Chain A
Amino acid sequence: MSRLQTRFADLKEQNRAALVTFITAGDPAYDTSLAILKGLPKAGADVIELGMPFTDPMADGPAIQLANIRALDAKQNLAKTLQMVREFRVEDTTTPLVLMGYYNPIHNYGVERFIAEARESGVDGLIVVDLPPEHNNELCDPAQEAGLDFIRLTTPTTDDNRLPTVLNGSSGFVYYVSVAGVTGAGAATIEHVKEAVTRLRRHTDLPISIGFGIRTPDQAAAIARVAEGVVVGSALIDQIANAQSADQAVSGVLKLCAELSEGVRKARVS
């Protein structure tokens, strides 16, 4: 079983959802970002999404755009992001880690080289925002052959006709983008999310994680009652943006992560 399968199976047994946290690698700088990454599992993150910075993050809102700029200003690149994963894996061999980003830096690095080094460094899966299933042969297929999960985004515009196409080749979990929009935008209603989860269930047995617009422990708890995973990104990244020092960035992210985790853990018992 892959780390993602094991983690979601364990959580199912515990009858709780996963807290999936997103940070951008190298934001605001390599060492601080690595300290945050290393601290996330203890602060209650069950799955980690690590953003690969890109100059033109077309699907991201202001918070993650700025995170990308900070990371790039601090000279983060794909090689350093993979190095961060290696350093993370020295201490943590169980928390699933998924790289998320846009295709061009991977395209430039070389797909074959990227897949090999991602595997070797301890990456479990990939989310590539601008690679729809129509281009599966470029990265999705070879990544899965090499044992990496390929996680698809599904959205409110992905209708029943299109869902099979999108889910074909999905593995690990399904990421449901609960609002049509950029990251960090307004949250969907819980009714909408319930309906979407029911619809997705008809098409897949994979765990479903919900993201976009989830910022508080209460929101996280509400989502945790209806799905297998709750993704939080922009709210954590705001902690980095607002911090006065590197230490404050680390403690701010980890404190919020712990609060969100508590929300998720309490959700199904209350």
Chain B
Amino acid sequence: MSQTETQYRNGPDVRGMFGAFGGRYVAETLMPLILDLNREYEIAKQDPAFLKELAYFQRDYVGRPSPLYFAERLTEHCGGAKIYLKREELNHTGAHKINNCIGQILLARRMGKKRIIAETGAGMHGVATATVAARFGLECVIYMGTTDIERQQANVFRMKLLGATVIPVVAGTGTLKDAMNEALRDWVTNVDSTFYLIGTVAGPHPYPAMVRDFQAVIGKETREQMQAQEGRLPDSLVACIGGGSNAMGLFHPFLDDTSVRIIGVEAAGHGIETGKHAASLNGGVPGVLHGNRTFLLQDNDGQIIDAHSISAGLDYPGIGPEHAWLHDIGRVEYTSVTDDEALTAFHQCCRLEGIIPALETAHALAEVFKRAPTLPKDHLMVVNLSGRGDKDMQTVMHHMDLSKQEKH
């Protein structure tokens, strides 16, 4: 199928639905705002001036394009597929998150908003938001669960350095879901002045589509870079999934290339069978939360269950609605990786490639360690190296101490 025809890249429809998923399930106070945002975004994305400005900031501020790097030692170690890393961790602020933040902040400025709010789990989206808010001189408030504040102190400090106010959220388990609830409460209270800069491909329409569009630069570059380096498309793509923005950014430009096998990796925590995980597709059922219908971790009464993952960025009981749809129709394969598997992959990546990946990203790498050895040497595999692991030093140290104690 040629790139001009599309089977998988039409969504969402006017109601924001990808098949049965997506939509706008929000309180009435927010509806006029969301419709406004949709209108503005539809205009902006076709406005050459907006696109030119976006391209400028992507190049000179974010540092794009990010390299597509042939991971020679990783490839040798696995002894199978030829592994390429899409180096999103080299972006300004150290992850893919800034791609979306730059896009949304330009939109916020266009809409005359003076105050930016965001939720954050691992803190990468919070840091990226605080960064662009500082760059454009806008007030910035970040909601972060107390559990996450505890395990991501370096990022909390970074946000404060950048001038943001970090508001601890005690409710629930003090993780990403609770931070998102609190950000929504802020938004309904400060509708006129405030722009809610959502960090992933979830939430009410148009967020899932808009965040995807801003992140799709990852996949578009990968296409061109792979053509230039290997003269053809990759055979498979691998990315980790919490809400799913880095994965959607890599996957979307390849959805219609049915020769490309696409694999999303969810966080299985202690193992899906234990119930302590964050794998919404592999261990959840469809429901409605945070503005969209998608797969959710919930109990038999429709109450949301707290997610668990060693990685704060994957610790969310839902997933972007477009992923839910791609799972439903079978275009993308969604698998999962445990905390322990991710930690092992984390260490191997450090030693083999001299790259310290984020624990989120380590989930994608763990899947690579499982798959690559079984594939032929001419199989081209791209992994989205979505973020760097500096923020995870504390967590990793803690786990190394624990495993030492267990050995004694």
Residues of chain A having any CB pair with chain B under 8 Å: 54-61, 65, 72, 77-78, 102-109, 129-132, 134-135, 152-159, 162, 166, 177, 180-182, 185
Contact = CB atoms under 8 A, between A and B. Distances in A.
Contact of A134 (B24, B29, B302): B24
27 contacts: A54-B302, A55-B304, A57-B181, A58-B185, A59-B29, A72-B303, A107-B293, A132-B26, A134-B23, A135-B25, A152-B28, A153-B27, A153-B29, A154-B28, A155-B28, A155-B29, A156-B29, A157-B28, A157-B191, A162-B32, A166-B28, A180-B189, A180-B191, A181-B188, A181-B189, A182-B185, A182-B189
Contacts of B15: 134
Name which of B29, B172, B296, B304 has the most chain A CB atoms within 10 A of its CB: B29
Interface in B151-195: 171-172, 177, 181, 184-185, 188-192
Given A157-B29, A177-B28, A109 B189 contact: no
A104 B288 contact: yes
Q: Please provide the 9 A-B residue pairs with the shortest distance between their CB atoms, ordered closest to farther.
A: A108-B302, A105-B302, A181-B189, A77-B301, A155-B29, A59-B27, A55-B304, A130-B25, A55-B303
Contacts of A108: 285, 287, 298, 300-302
Nearest to A157: B32
Name which of A58, A134, A162 has the most chain B CB atoms within 10 A of its CB: A58
Interface of B: 15, 23-33, 35, 171-172, 177, 181, 184-185, 188-192, 285-291, 293, 296, 298, 300-304
Given A57-B181, A77-B303, A103-B25, 4 more contacts: A129-B27, A135-B25, A157-B30, A182-B185
B29 A106 contact: no
B54 to A, nearest CB: 29
Nearest to B33: A157
Contacts of A157: 28-33, 191
B76 to A, nearest CB: 47
Name which of B177, B285, B293, B303 has the most chain A CB atoms within 10 A of its CB: B303
A158 B191 CA distance: 12
A151 B298 CA distance: 27
A104 B27 contact: no
B353 to A, nearest CB: 40
Contacts of B290: 56, 58
Contacts of B293: 107
B304 A56 contact: yes
Contacts of B30: 157
Contacts of B287: 104, 107-108
B108 to A, nearest CB: 18
Given A157-B32, A157-B33, A182-B189, A103 B301 contact: no
A109 B29 contact: no
A59 B185 contact: yes
Contact of A104 (B184, B192, B296): B296
Contacts of B301: 77-78, 105, 108-109
Contacts of A103: 25, 288
A103 B302 CA distance: 9
A157 B188 CA distance: 10
A104 to B, nearest CB: 5
Contact of B184 (A58, A107, A135): A58
Contacts of B172: 55-56
B185 to A, nearest CB: 5
Contact of B189 (A55, A65, A185): A185
A161 to B, nearest CB: 8
Contacts of B24: 132, 134-135
A105 B28 contact: no
A66 B51 CA distance: 45
Contact of A132 (B28, B171, B190): B28
B26 A107 contact: no
Contacts of B304: 55-56, 104
Contacts of A153: 27-29
B31 A162 contact: yes
A106 B191 CA distance: 28
Contact of A130 (B35, B171, B177, B288): B288
Contacts of A158: 28, 31-32
B278 to A, nearest CB: 16
Given A107-B288, A107-B302, A59 B188 contact: yes
Nearest to B14: A134
Contacts of B189: 180-182, 185
Name which of B15, B28, B30 has the most chain A CB atoms within 10 A of its CB: B28
A56 B289 contact: yes
B300 to A, nearest CB: 8
A242 to B, nearest CB: 20
A130 B303 contact: no
A59 B182 CA distance: 9
A55 B290 CA distance: 12
A106 B302 contact: yes
Name which of B24, B27, B192 has the most chain A CB atoms within 10 A of its CB: B27
Contacts of A104: 287-289, 296, 298, 302, 304
Name which of A54, A77, A134, A181 has the most chain B CB atoms within 10 A of its CB: A134
B117 to A, nearest CB: 14
Contacts of A55: 172, 303-304
Contacts of B188: 59, 180-182
Contacts of A77: 301, 303
